[in-house]
């Protein structure tokens, strides 16, 4: 690694530590939420997983390490500055799973279905605000893929890591093409 590359890693990790404390979109997922969804979707049945909004400290990644899963974790502030919208999934990716920045949800939902259409991912699970089910624009997209869609609704609000209780958004998982999910709507 040359000096330029070393400096870039230091720059990005500093930016990440600052961003975590300031960015309203940085909402870290607690371990129980990760363990719960991994059980529900039978995470071990997936051969190559992509965590596109996950840096070194994400529980999605840490739990995947414990389970010896095959995965690639990328994040806008990792050493390559991996932007979800321009980064390609790992080869033979059969699952994208993450808690994405809610403020960009429309573009992220669109891009996730685009990756499915391109054959670059087989399935996905996105943790989103419950209000993702609203709006004509999003409804039109979800209706198009309704056959393989499952919605998992949290009965209780999630207390996200490092957030004051004032961040108190109702959430759900929007899952596409997950074999283990047998009902369209599931309360968890």
Q: Which is nearer to ligand SAM, 53 or 124 (CB)?
A: 53
Does position 124 interact with ligand SAM (CB under 6 A)? The reply is no
Helix (H, G, I), strand (E, B), or coil: what is residue 171?
Answer: strand
DSSP 97-153: EE---GGGHHHHHHHHHHHHHTTS-S-EEEEEEGGGG-SHHHHHHHHHTGGGEEEEE
Q: Find the part of the chain contacting ligand SAM (CB under 6 A) among 5-13, 64-72, 96-104, 151-159.
A: 96-104
Any contact of residue 28 with ligand SAM (CB under 6 A)? yes
In this complex, which beta carbon is closest to ligand SAM, that of residue 23 or of residue 135? 23
Q: How far is the CB of 58 from ligand SAM (least distance, A)?
A: 4
Q: Strand, coil or helix: what is 173? A: strand
* Beta carbon nearer to ligand SAM, 54 or 112: 54
Residue 62 is a binding residue for ligand SAM (CB under 6 A): no
* Binding of residue 76 to ligand SAM (CB under 6 A): yes
d(CA 71, CA 95): 9
Strands 71-73 and 185-187: what pairing? unpaired
Applying CB under 6 A, does 98 fall inside the site for ligand SAM?
A: yes
Of the candidates 77, 96, 82, the residue with the CA atom closest to the CA atom of residue 25: 77
Residue 128 interacts with ligand SAM (CB under 6 A): yes or no: no
Contact set with ligand SAM (CB under 6 A) = 19, 23, 25-29, 52-54, 58, 60, 75-76, 83-85, 98-101
């Amino acid at each position: 690694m040359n000096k330029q590359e070393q400096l870039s890693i230091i720059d990005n990790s500093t930016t990440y530590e600052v961003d975590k404390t300031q960015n309203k979109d940085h909402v870290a997922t607690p371990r129980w939420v990760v363990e719960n969804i991994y059980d529900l979707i039978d995470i071990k049945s997936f051969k190559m997983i992509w965590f596109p909004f996950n840096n070194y400290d994400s529980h999605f990644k840490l739990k995947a390490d414990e389970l010896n899963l095959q995965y690639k974790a990328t994040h806008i502030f990792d050493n390559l500055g991996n932007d979800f919208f321009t980064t390609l999934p790992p080869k033979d990716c059969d699952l994208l799973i993450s808690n994405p920045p809610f403020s960009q949800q429309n573009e992220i939902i669109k891009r996730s279905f685009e990756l499915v259409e391109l054959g670059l991912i087989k399935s996905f699970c996105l943790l989103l605000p419950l209000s993702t089910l609203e709006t004509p624009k999003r409804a039109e997209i979800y209706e198009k893929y309704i056959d393989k869609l499952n919605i998992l609704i949290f009965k209780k609000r999630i207390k996200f890591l490092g957030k004051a209780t004032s961040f108190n958004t109702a959430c759900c998982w929007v899952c596409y093409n997950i074999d283990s999910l047998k009902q369209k709507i599931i309360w968890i």
